[in-house]
Amino acid sequence: MTPQQLVDQLRRDTGDLFLMPDIPTTTLFLVSEVGEVCDCVIRLMEPDFLRSNPGVTESNLLANLEMELGDVLLMLATLATQYNIYLEDALCRAIAKVRRRYEEAKNEQAS
């Protein structure tokens, strides 16, 4: 299933109960979830963190990162739904933009 299909299925299953009440609330939750992703990445990059927290393993941190990334995707999907934007379309456009910029930079280097 695509991310949009998963969100649509969740909406059918929950009767829209998972959706944030409004766009500002969704945006705040999105920012909060991105912050949690940053915390996970910082812990993974800090070699002393695992040494000073014997009960925590890299595997635990990666599992937590995966969960937080899922939360970010859900908030992005919620925000996209509130604006009637399909995530796949937005992702395809972003990839096309990166490819275009890459080609432009490559052409500049060649000339």
- Alpha-carbon separation of residue 66 from 33, 36, 87 (angstroms): 12, 11, 19
- Tokens, residue 17: 């109960």
Residue 52 lies in a domain: yes
Q: Which pLDDT score is estimated for 23?
A: 92
Tally of structural domains, the chain = 1
- Tens-place pLDDT, residues 20-40: 778 999 999 999 999 999 999
Range of the domain at 59: 3-85
- Tens-place pLDDT, residues 52-94: 888 888 999 999 999 999 999 989 988 998 899 988 899 999 9
Residue 95 lies in a domain: no
Residue 106 lies in a domain: no
CATH number at residue 73: 1.10.287
Yes or no: say if 65 and 37 are a contact pair by the CB < 8 Å rule.
yes
Which ranges of 1-111 would DSSP assign to H, the alpha helix? 3-14, 23-45, 47-52, 58-82, 87-110
